[in-house]
């Protein structure tokens, strides 16, 4: 077995290398070409896997099953899933995000890419309440692709997204990590409980349905900087 890679950054580099190796010159010039590397990430949901879709300039994580059904969650999708969860689930997810933002030092979780060992950083603290985690393991949500996913696996997805956002832009340090986590927390609380209304209004966040705010992918780049300015 390969020795566990000590540098978290290397899994992003490894995916880039795999894409280059598996894409011919013709396909590399086609921005729509994508590649599915063999990624093995442990999750709790029955008969569900986390799948990596690698494009030349981006990496996405999806949920899928053995029947070929797959679903990709945007930030808006993730926030809506949190907002629409029942209170005991919602409270645990927000608690995890809040604790991570206040102290982003958490455990390393090993996973494999093409049988080579790497790790990502979970957003769940090492000593986090196991009874609360059990709430996320015992509850699940249905997707439009008819996949039944446990909320604990949504936490795994969020962890991967936060890691990825940080690793592809190391020059921003921990700011980008916390920005993504703060976005998930602040907007979930705003759309569920109307919290942070004053702060968002003062920063000119459009106070309307989240789908109407993030109506295309280019909006996030300019809008998400406001989450750096909100103190929790």
Q: What is the pLDDT of residues 100-141, one digit of tens each?
A: 999 988 889 999 998 899 999 999 998 999 999 999 999 999
167 part of a folded domain = yes
For residues 190 and 232, the answer to whether their CB atoms sit within 8 Å is no
172 part of a folded domain = yes
**Looking up tokens 């979930």, which residue turns up?**
188
4 part of a folded domain = no
Average pLDDT, the chain: 89
For residues 50 and 150, the answer to whether their CB atoms sit within 8 Å is no
Looking at the structure of the chain, the number of domains it has is: 1
30 part of a folded domain = yes
Query: Does the pLDDT at position 158 exceed 70?
Result: yes
43 part of a folded domain = yes
47 part of a folded domain = yes
5 part of a folded domain = no
151 part of a folded domain = yes
What would the pLDDT profile of 32-60 be if each residue is shown by its tens digit? 788 899 999 999 999 999 999 988 778 99
Residue ranges making up the domain that contains 93: 10-229
The better pLDDT of the pair 20, 144 is held by: 144
pTM for this model (two decimals): 0.90
In the numeric block, which tokens belong to residue 62?
A: 């999806």
Categorise residue 160: left if φ over 0, alpha if ψ from -120 to 50, beta otherwise.
Answer: alpha
């Amino acid at each position: 077995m390969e020795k566990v890679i000590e540098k978290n950054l290397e899994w992003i580099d490894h995916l880039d290398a795999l894409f280059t190796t598996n894409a011919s010159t013709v396909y590399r010039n086609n921005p729509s070409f994508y590649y599915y590397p063999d990624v093995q990430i442990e999750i709790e949901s029955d008969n569900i896997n986390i799948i990596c879709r690698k494009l030349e300039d981006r990496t996405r994580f999806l949920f899928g099953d053995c029947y070929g059904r797959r679903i990709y969650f945007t930030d808006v999708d993730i926030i809506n899933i949190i907002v629409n969860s029942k209170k005991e689930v919602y409270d645990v997810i927000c608690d995890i995000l809040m604790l991570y933002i206040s102290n982003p030092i958490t455990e390393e979780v090993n996973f494999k890419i093409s049988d080579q060992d790497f790790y990502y950083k979970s957003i769940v603290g090492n000593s986090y309440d196991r009874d609360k985690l059990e709430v996320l393991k015992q509850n699940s949500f249905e997707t439009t692709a008819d996949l039944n996913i446990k909320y604990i696996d949504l936490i795994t997805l969020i962890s991967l997204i936060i890691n990825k956002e940080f690793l592809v832009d190391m020059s921003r340090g921990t700011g980008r990590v916390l920005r993504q986590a703060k976005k998930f927390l602040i907007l979930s609380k705003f759309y569920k409980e109307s919290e942070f209304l004053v702060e968002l209004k003062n920063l000119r966040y459009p106070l309307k349905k989240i789908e109407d705010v993030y109506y295309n992918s280019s909006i996030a780049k300019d809008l998400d900087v406001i989450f750096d300015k909100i103190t929790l």
